[in-house]
Every structure is written in C-alpha cells, then in structure tokens.
Structure 1
C-alpha cells in the first residue's frame, strides 16, 4: 500500500528505541546490481562509522546519520508512520532527502510486504488493466517499407507505480516508463522478453474477453518470431490479424491495404474463476470500495452504506455472474445465490453497454468480502481504500454509526477515501 496521510498501525519492532544508522553506499554502475539493504525492515548495527561492514561498493566515504527506530512504530492511529525504502539506482546521491522519489514511499505493514506477485494475480490484474498490441508503421529503410512492433503494456496512474514494479520483478522482464505527467507504463517489447509473457498467459490464461486479444497477439508474435513478417505474405497476415485486435486498423493502414483479408476474432466463452489470487488481481484493477453517507434531518441512523462493486463492458457479463457464484461458494451463509442464477439481478445489473456487480449487504461484506481480501490482499493504493472500507464496516457492525461520534469518525474516513486520498 502506498503512503497516505492516514495509515494503520504497525507491529512495534523488537529493536524500537535503538539507534538506526542509514547505510548509503555509493557504487560503480558497472560493478553492482540488485538491492543491498533489506527493504521495509529496520536495520540496527552497533559500530563506529569507520568500521562499517561491507554493504555495497565503497568507492566514496559517506557520512552516516543517526535516527531512532521509534519512527517505525505508531502509538496513536492518527500519526503518520513511514518506512524508508531505498533504491540502488539513486545511491550516488549523497543527500538522503534527494534519494527518494515521492511515488516510492510506502506504508506496508510487515505482514503485507511482498517482493513477488502470485502468477494468477498478474493474470487477474492484466484482465483488468493490460493491453496486447502491435504497431505497424511506415519504415523507408525496411524492404517492405513497413515495420512491426509487438507490445505488452500496462498503463497506470503514477501513484500505483509500485504494482508495476512488483509485476516487473515477478516476471523479470520489461521496463517501466513515465508516460505523461501523472502516468507510468510497464512495457515488454523485445521478442525474447515477450516469449516470457506469452508463456505466462499460456500457463495462467486470461479469464475475460481479453483472452481473444491475447490469442490474436500470440499468432502475431509467432509470425514475427519466425521472421515471416519480413515477407509480403507474412505482413499481410499481420495486418489481417491486427484488424481484429483492439481498435482494429488505422485509417492509414486501411488506405494502404484496402484489400487485406480480415481475420475473425477467436470466439470467447467464459469458463470459471480459476484462483482466488486472480480475483485479488482483477479487483486491484477494476474493483471499487465505496462509502455512501445519506443526509437525514431526523436521525443519525441509516445514513451509512457500503458498496463493493466491479463494472465491466457488457461483453464480460458472464465473468461477473461467475464472481457471484464464486463468492457464494466461500460461505454457505451467504445469500448471493441459492443454487442457481435466479437471483442474479440482485447482484448483477446491466445497462446499454456496461454490466455491474455489487454487494451492499453489510453482513455479506463482513462475512465474505472482507475476510477474502484479508487473505488474498489487494495491491496498490486501492488497498488503502479497502482498509478504510473495513474500518467503516466494523463501525457499522458494532452499531457505532448510530452515534454522533461514530458518524463523525466515518465522515472523517470518507474525506480521505478513493479520489479524495492524497498521495
């Protein structure tokens, strides 16, 4: 979870109160790689500055400043508590305050610190946010005067760059690039690295209609991998496949290849929800934890309601029905579905081109949804919204929302949730 003005308590470190030395090695770019310091952990060493052990290349002498470990422990819930997260690439900067980019601050608890994502989480998040694409652009130097570039991309707001870092570290391929003022994207574009992407989604297949895009992309990848795209026949096959991928052909390509044979999209059929980590990944991308406070001039009661929802294109309606059934299997007390889909309209609603899945019953949220995401955590800034959502659910469950004090507490939480949260 990323840093915000409010966060939850940490477990008090065993060495709280001891001296903490920030170890900031400089390095030669050619001689070092990887992380020397343990991220998200408090390091305490008893030594004088000129006797510090090897923690990386020491080509320059750096001053070591003292801090207290107490900063890693929150006594009052309203206090801000952050853990320093270092990054190798910035270690030549001797001013510690300049070492950190604001998007890399973290307030993860020890129990939630992860270094790699589960494979099904990556698939679920890709179902929500990923894009399989390839560009075909004019190239005067090419024999056929056209250049092809396959791409796998996940584009997010910069506040969620930590998720992209986790995906990159887990797959061990790709790059993260800034894309505009407030956007970043994870990009995989070399044939060698795209093979890792293709292999991943063959083993952990996509669940939504995005599977059809991947199947087209995989055909394009194989054509390029076998270098068939360097022939006129291969290029025309690529253009035909591109016509059915994402937004189809650009006007320039339609004009340049008016007689290209259009390829039909692979038929998509939803099967089932494969894994709880898929749900966690998909919800991290497309899920929403919403708090609604109704105005009332007569009483305090019945002002607060919670809503967990996922909104998708109408083509993925079966996915949401599958989620309804999946959550129902987690607890027999849940009344989401009783053996069939006769009650699906209570949880899945449709409009012209969208479909929505929503659970608003407090008992179902407390018995099913909250325990599920405690066990299979959401990643990114949305995890903070989930934590606030959970706090309000507990206040409602204990009837504290019926008091002025409890309602004020909920109002305070709502002012820092979702789009109101500072990052």
Structure 2
C-alpha cells in the first residue's frame, strides 16, 4: 500500500527485480503472496535475532569488563547460583520460540494448502531441460499443450536477454489466478525453484509433488534447477511470464488450444477471431510451442470469414525471400549439442501471415522479438523438421541459391533425427555440412574440429517452369517493393512520377532475376554499383498497367505489401489519366507515397 501511494504521488514507475543481480544481498521483489509471507516471516525473525544479538553481546561485554580478574581478584568467589537470572534465560528463549512458531506454522500451512486451482501446470525435469504440460486443455484427440524449454546458448542471446537464464519457451500464466504446479522428473532428482514467486519443490522420478501460487503482477520471473542433477545442472533455467487474463486467453488460442478455457464456461468464452481464421486449428503430434502473447494483436471480429489456406508454392516463394535454415552447434560440458531450425522473419505488421504459415505446416511457433518490431515463425522440433519441413521443400523446391543451403541442412536434419550426431563421425560430418551453410562455422568449432572437410555448395540452375504465379506472389511478399518516385522537371514547373516495382536479390541469383523478364515479358535487371546485388525492375506505366496490375489483381499478395500494391495501383491510374500534372492530383500522389512502405509502418 505504501509503495502504491509513493508511486501515485511521485509518479514513479517501479522497476521490479525478478532476477538475480551481481553482489545481491537481499531478496528479489515478491511477485506472489507466498513470497511476501516468506519475506515478512524473515523480517520478524530478523527482529528477534537483532534483539538477542544486542542483549547477549551487551551481557558478554559487561561480564568481560566488570568481572575481569584484573579488576577484582576474588569477586568470583561470591557468585554461586542466581535463580532469577536462570529463569530469565530459560523463559525468554521459550517465549521467543513461541513468537516465531505461530507465524511460521501459519505460513507453512498456507504454502502447503492447494486451493481449488483454475490452471494446472505440470513441470517435468529432464537432463538438462524442462518439459511443461498444461493438463487442463485437451483437444478431441486427447492431446494437451506440451513443450520443452531449453536454455538459450550465450551465442544466440539477443540484446536485453539474461545470460544462463533465458529460455526458448517460457511458461505463460495469468495474474490473480489460482495456479497449481505438479512437479516430477524423468531421470534424476531436480528441483523447481522460482525465488520471486516463493516456489521451490523437489522433482522426484516416479513421484508427484504439488504446490500452488497466485501471481499478483505482470512480469517475467526467473528461476533455476536447485538440486544438483549432473554435469549441466547449472544450465536448466526456468522462466515464467505472467500476463493479463485477456493476453493469456489469446496465447491459448495461438497454441491450438481447445475451444474453451477452464477460466470461463463455454457459453461465457469470448469469440476471439483472428486474421488466419478461427481458434485452435489442430496440430500435428503432441508437441506445441509457446508464443509470447503480451504484444500480439489479434483481430476481434467474431464474424470474420476464414482465409483460404496458403498455396504450397506461395510458401516456397516466401521462404526463398525471408527464411533461414539454421544449424546451431554448441558445447555443453564435455559434449556437443546440435540444434536445427527453420525460421522465417517478418515485420510485426505481418503477424497474421506468420500464423497462417503455422496453420499451413501445423507445427512450429510464432514468436515476437522484444527489441525490434519483428516476429518469426520457427520450427525447431527435429521430428517436425524431418517429417514436415524437409518433405515440403523437397516436393516444392526453392528457386534461389538458398536451395543449396536447404539440401545441406536437410542432410544434417536426417543425421540428427537418426541419432548420428551422438557419434564422433556423425558430429564431424555435421560440422562439415554446416561449414557450407550461410556464414559457415565459428572459429571455436574450427579449432575443436580441425580435421573436418568443408562441403562444396552446389550451384542451383533456376528454370522458367519453376516460376509459378503463386511462387512469384510469395517471393514478392518477401523481397518485392512497390514505390513511387517524384522528380521535379523544367525548373519545378511540372513533376515526373515514376511507379516502380522491384525484386531484389544477391548477385549470385542474377540468372533468376533475368528469368523474371521472360516470366513477365517486360522489365530490366540492374546490377548495383557494389556488384553484390541486383534488381529486377518494372518502371513504366504501360507495363505496369497492362501486365503488372492485372497479374497482382488475379494473384493477390498475402502480406501488408498488399496495401502498398493498392496504393501503387491507384497512383498508376492517376498517372495514366495525366492527373499528376495538376496540383490536386500531385498532392494526392504525394499523400499515397507517404503512406507506403516505411511510412505505413511508422504510422502503425
């Protein structure tokens, strides 16, 4: 209450300490009534300790000073027994223990009491990661929301993330809700501990322990495994993110959860529409991945029509433009871990497209980057990569040189899926494959594996038959740009308006850029001055009117670039009708230009 009054009067925003700090002597800030009770009991006991310390210290000092042999040689001969003082030093500790015992018993009872929980989360300790299961949410096939949570290696941390504490999948929970944790282990003894919430519970194989908590504020709370469990014991962090009830429900909908939550009865559940149509599309397998939901912007129209599924060639075209095939090799103790993933990053304005991509593949997760307005669709489970991602890009092959990365990456996925990465020869082959993908391997890996032989990338020869309209749309959503250039002519007496459509690629895909000329039957390829990239460009009104606009009218885009295209199309019509030659028309074109691309994102 005092903190609330202080914040209200002085308009101070409190920055809570929910993670360990260097040279920290005190407690972390409490995030639950349980922890606040623990801190209060600590303060009460500390009061008695200080009083006892001062009293005993004073008596000891006085005895040493007054009854020293240097002051009186025979004073000790006259002191035998003191009934009063013996009663005092017997009764006083008993009273202190009673004063400590009552609040202690009360707190112990409240910590062990599991009030009728609204949400149950099962935490399973593994060597050396955690598995979480939301047992209340079961779909028609009996599958629950379940995911693994690994520590993010130091080499993959983003700015602002905490070393040795950040994980790839957090526990998402609502505030002011009774939550029960059931804790167990699959192999050895672990301990589930989150200091700010007052949680510490042993995870024992073959036994279920339970505790409850109410989180009373939004925030991110960090914990660790607190029982020595093996060589990587120090690399099992726990991260709990508490959000509002509304954000939690939205997170549930993004996890392909059941059509209703135990937080509300079915007839009370709000009809949450979303840009990709409906809540809770079924997922492949029993593995779901968490989505940071506090910043997700969902549509709220209850009568929104479901969008059609994405075309496979569109997905491939979008991946040609924006995806990455990643191999992460990190040392843990005396061994090495290999993590494969498929990632596709877009601006947060295209969050709905990422969810449609997740719905297309029926695997993976959508995550927001907190430091930048970016979001990603990520698939990291090796079974999903092997059975879903690799077959898709085998049946619908990439058209850029990125296909070389995919072919090498797919071999690594196959090796990891078969368990070959656990052998010395298999790990050496993975390092050799990784050395030819993206930016290669780090100096640390080169030092650790001096005998690896780098694979040679194969050169992809694109063909015109691979450029389907759906692929072009996907590639345009990833790499395309519609923009307007206004140039003053005749000393400013009139203005030239240029409507440009561009597809940009690395110079190694120059052949692909030239194939666009054959596909559209117009346009030119311009190589940039640094000779590292090229642009396929259509920049004249007849080609835009007769070829470009009819193509994208028939094959619409799916990202926010659709809005840029519609503005582009309107400018093309204005220029075609010569309205850019009058002030009103030119002013309208300037307004449309200002709202396109970065201008639209800045406004959003």
TM-score where L is the length of structure 2: 0.51
Is the contact made by 2:487 and 2:497 (CA closer than 8 Å) also made in structure 1?
yes
Pick the aligned partner of 1:185 from 356, 376, 381. Answer: 376
Equivalent positions of 1:211-290 (< 5 A) are 211-272=403-464, 273-290=466-483
How has the CA–CA distance of structure 1 residues 261 and 100 changed in structure 2, closer, same or farther, with 3 Å as cutoff? closer
Residue-by-residue CA offset, 1:169-218 (whole Å, 9 max, x unaligned): 11111111122332211111112211200000010000000000000011
How many angstroms does 1:60 deviate by? 7.4
User: 8 Å contact 1:300–1:403 — kept in the other structure?
Assistant: no
Name the Cα RMSD after superposition.
3.1
Is 1:104 aligned to 2:310, yes or no?
A: no
Would you say 1:154 and 2:261 are equivalent positions? Answer: no
SS of residue in 2 equivalent to 1:386: helix
| Cα distance in 2 between the residues matched to 1:219 and 1:131 | 15
Q: C-alpha distance in 2, partners of 1:400/1:199?
A: 51
Label 1:293 to 1:137 Cα distance change in 2 as closer, same or farther (>3 A). same
Q: What does residue 309 of structure 1 align with? A: 502
Q: Deviations along 1:327-370, whole A, 9 cap, x unmatched?
A: 11xxxxxx55xxxxxxxxx4443431111111111010111111
Which has the larger share of strand?
2
Q: Which residue of 1 aligns with 2:249?
A: none
Structure 2 distance, partners of 1:179, 1:64, is: 27
Are 1:353 and 2:532 counterparts? yes
Q: 2:366 — aligned with what?
A: 176
CA contact (8 A) 1:115 1:169 kept: no
Shift of 1:138: 0.5
Shift of 1:265: 1.3
Matched, 1:324 2:517: yes
How do 1:196-207 residues align onto structure 2 when only pairs under 5 Å count? 196-207=388-399
| 3-state SS of 1:126 partner | helix
Which residue in the other structure is 1:38 paired with?
none
Query: Mapping of 1:5-16 within 5 angstroms?
Result: none
User: In the alignment, is the contact (CA less than 8 A) between 2:484 and 2:500 conserved in 1?
Assistant: yes
Whole-Å separation in 1 of the counterparts to 2:445 and 2:138 = 47
1:30 alignment partner in structure 2 = 137
Counterpart CA distance in 2 for 1:105 and 1:63 is 16
Assess, with a 3 A threshold, how the Cα gap between structure 1 residues 64 and 194 changes in structure 2: closer, same or farther.
closer
**1:401 corresponding residue in structure 2:** 580
SS in 1 for 2:339: strand
Query: By how many angstroms is 1:33 displaced?
Result: 8.4
Are the counterparts in 2 of residues 173 and 193 from structure 1 also a CA contact under 8 Å? Answer: yes
- Judge conservation of contact 2:507–2:534 (CA < 8 Å) in 1: yes
**2:288 is the alignment partner of 1:121:** no
Tell me the TM-score normalized by structure 1.
0.71
Cα offsets for 1:266-321 (capped at 9, x unmatched): 23222223311000000001000010111246566442111001111100001111
Q: Please, which moves more after superposition, 254-263 or 317-326?
A: 254-263
Higher RCO (CA 8 Å, separation ≥ 6 residues)? 1
**Helix, strand or coil for the counterpart of 1:307?**
strand
Residue aligned with 2:428, SS:
helix
- Where does the alignment leave 5 or more consecutive residues of structure 1 unmatched? 1-25, 35-54, 66-82, 90-98, 329-334, 337-345
Mark the CA change 1:56 to 1:187 in structure 2 (over 3 Å): closer, same or farther.
closer
Would you say the 8 A contact 1:321–1:348 is kept in 2? no
Contact map agreement 1:128 1:285 (CA 8 A) in 2:
yes
User: Partners of 1:221 and 1:100 in 2: how far apart?
Assistant: 32
Q: Could you say which residue in structure 1 is the equivalent of 2:356?
A: 166
**In structure 2, what is the Cα distance between the partners aligned to 1:258 and 1:214?**
25
Work out whether residues 300 and 402 of structure 1, in 8 Å CA contact, stay in contact via their aligned partners in 2.
Answer: no
Deviates further, 180-189 or 277-286: 180-189
1:417 to 585, 593, 596: 596
Work out whether residues 274 and 298 of structure 2, in 8 Å CA contact, stay in contact via their aligned partners in 1: no
Q: Structure 2 unaligned runs (5+)?
A: 1-117, 120-134, 142-258, 281-292
In structure 2, what is the Cα distance between the partners aligned to 1:61 and 1:122? 37
CA distance, structure 2, for counterparts of residue 101 and residue 243 of structure 1 = 37
* SS of 2:488 mapped into structure 1: coil
Q: Would the aligned equivalents of 1:300 and 1:404 in 2 still touch at CA under 8 Å? A: no
